[in-house]
Chains A and B, each alone.
Chain A
């Protein structure tokens, strides 16, 4: 009997202690020198159970990457190419063209890109998005003079990108082996397949006759590449870490999952 009472008392006092704990959570303490002790707002794990960071991180670091050695070499190649060729060219492009022209070029290529966006929205049976992208294509190609202006965005139809890699992911195809593509950067088996399919579809539809023209005039293709780099804010070395390859791999994988889920 005494044992029971003791247990009950212990339980009660434990409950009381917890309630007390809860109270200190909400009200802010202030020291005499004005310091508000922000860490007092937090609840910490008990000392023997403090491995969540390690557990989560080790878990996240396992990305399927059988070609890692080659991928890392390509990563370093891309890094150098970017610094010594690509970015200087983009800087030159920025230097010789006025900003409205650059915007026009970006709009033009974005408009072409809305063709695969529409195609893939349809494949994923996203009705609303397909309608919006169709609207964008119609408005920008007519009112926007072949896509040089982007009146659709100002009218509330933002650009929503979809590619065949996302379509495959939408139907449950896993990413497969991680790949670092020369110049194009991080990808995986699924998304590389997607790139090839999107390219084929573009050639097949031949919207505004640009895909066919650019096989005859590679300068259009080069301008597209420069414009793409101009609009991509990523810089090799921006993580400023010896482990940039690992971080990029994780972020790419998760970002694609996000794009597919949305």
Chain B
């Protein structure tokens, strides 16, 4: 009897650890058609495998705006007139309902296509939905951000929280039963920090929080994205640049097809044609998108704070001023450059100086490890082939979230969010 005790203990241990293990979705039964992570990231799910969602005409929604930083009215140049107020979109049910906040990913505005998809999904399921821009987006930085230097997750979350409180005040007559929160990509990291902030500020008492494809180590993620434009693409030579290569492919594709037809299935069809893109080309395309996002951040942050790295301080800017020279300058600065030239100096000035490692530790999910481990209301959905992750990141998520983590075998970065299986899992998580 005594001898069997260790066995029993071992068995218990095994059972316990099994119960806290992440849900790994089996590739064989998952059925997601795009096993290439780059293809999935660009094309997302083929239209026929997406869930059925209502049309825009059938949704009771409007755009609203908030005046959060009135001083910017005077400090921003004239051509920023459109972003002196922060816009958000809200879809309202005609009866008391729970409210879902959605936070967009890197550089994305409140009406990004993924935010629109999630809005439709949750609106159909009976939620009021509020769509918010990412703290890294041009409009949020200009109209809502105190320091206009996104990247310090804690500060970004505080800005977001203030926006959410303002939304609640502006929509005070909407009958809300409970508050929920979801974000994708960088928005998921923001959501984790917002949820943490809410534990002390208690405005919303979020009932459940869902993180979709969050970066774990923010520095790994931005390094990965910066690296994507360094791939060795075949067919680039002295007379053909990367864009020309892509456009030539697209032209040939349309010529074979006989007519120009740009729709949701375009990339998917292109990948099944003779003109398909290689991994390197797709990686370069994704990297390019992010470089343009970083150029926007670099330029806007520098201009609002008058740092003089891109735009000379006091340079007169009117609506007719060409910004092309500044775009060219900003495009030379990737995320790593933005971090070194703008985020770290600001952060060090505010916190009596710290090292890069300390910064990374503070702005990544690591900072919230204990909180995340002990908050059963927070769940994560991630992909085993997500390009923003590095070695060990999934291990961290497994340890921290246990069975509240779902790992899908395919999907790249956010490519499978609009797959029917994933959509059902999201609804199920908030329902249960």
**Using an 8 Å CB-CB cutoff, how does the interface string of A75-118 with B read, 1 for contact, 0 for none?**
01001000100000000001000010000000000000000000
User: What are 6 sample pairs from A and B whose C-beta atoms fall under 8 A apart?
Assistant: A31-B394, A34-B384, A43-B231, A57-B291, A242-B300, A243-B295
Q: Which residues of B contact A58 (CB under 8 A)?
A: 328, 331
Instruction: Scan residues 65-79 of chain A and give those whose CB is less than 8 A from a CB of chain B.
Output: 68-70, 72-73, 76, 79
Residues in A11-48 with C-beta less than 8 Å from chain B: 30-39, 41-45
Residue of B nearest to A261 (CB): B251
Interface residues of A in 174-220 (CB under 8 A from B): none
**The one of B139, B280, B395, B407 that contacts A240, using a Cβ cutoff of 8 Å:** B139
Interface contacts (Cβ under 8 Å), in number, total 164
- A residues touching B (Cβ–Cβ < 8 Å)? 30-39, 41-45, 50, 52-61, 68-70, 72-73, 76, 79, 83, 94, 99, 158, 160, 236-238, 240-243, 245-247, 254, 257-259, 261-262
Set B233, B292, B384, B392: member contacting A52, Cβ < 8 A:
B233
Is the pair B259, A262 in contact by a Cβ cutoff of 8 Å? yes
Complex CA distance for A163 and B332, rounded to whole angstroms: 38
Which residue of A is nearest B236, CB measured?
A52
CA of A22 to CA of B81 in the docked complex: distance in angstroms? 53
B interface residues, tally (CB under 8 Å):
73
User: Which residues of B90-119 have CB atoms within 8 Å of chain A's CB atoms?
Assistant: 107-109, 111
A3–B300 alpha-carbon span in the complex (Å): 58
Contact B320 A33 (CB under 8 A): no
Report whether B259 and A160 are in contact in the complex, using a CB–CB cutoff of 8 Å: yes
Interface members, chain B 209-267 (any A CB < 8 Å): 224, 227-233, 236, 241-244, 247, 250-251, 254-255, 258-260
Q: Among the listed B57, B251, B260, B384, which residue makes an inter-chain contact with A35, where contact means beta carbons less than 8 Å apart?
A: B384
Contact B320–A70 (Cβ < 8 Å): yes
Classify the secondary structure of A's interface with B.
helix
A35 engages B279 (CB within 8 Å): no
Looking at chain B's contact residues, is the secondary structure mostly helix, strand, loop, or mixed? helix
Q: Is the CB of A34 within 8 A of B231?
A: no
Return A37 CB to nearest CB of chain B, in Å: 7
Partner of B323, one of A36, A76, A236, A246: A246
Which one of A39, A55, A72, A257 contacts B387 once the chains associate, using CB atoms below 8 Å?
Answer: A39
Task: For B288, list chain A residues within 8 Å (CB).
Answer: 53, 57
B193 is an interface residue with CB less than 8 A from chain A: no
A39 near B393: Cβ-Cβ < 8 Å: no
CB of B138 closer than 8 Å to a CB of A? yes
B296's contact among A53, A79, A83, A242, by CB below 8 Å, is which? A242
* Cα–Cα, bound, A22→B303 (Å): 46
- Report B280 CB to chain A, min CB distance, Å: 6
Q: Chain A: which residue is nearest B55 at the CB level?
A: A99
B351 within 8 A of A: no
- Indicate whether B160 reaches chain A with its CB closer than 8 angstroms: no
Partner of B394, one of A33, A59, A70, A236: A33
- In the bound complex, CA of A242 to CA of B323 (Å): 8
Which of B224, B303, B389 has most chain A Cβ within 10 Å? B389
Q: Are A61 and B324 in contact (CB under 8 A)?
A: yes
Min CB–CB distance B357 → chain A (angstroms):
22
Contact of B138 among A60, A158, A242 (CB under 8 A): A242
Bound CA span A94–B292, Å: 35
Q: Known: A34-B407, A242-B138, A261-B251. Contact between A69 and B259, CB under 8 A?
A: no
* Contact residues in B for A240 (Cβ distance below 8 Å): 107-109, 133, 137-139, 296
Also in contact, A32 and B395, with CB within 8 A (given A52-B241, A94-B57, A240-B109): yes
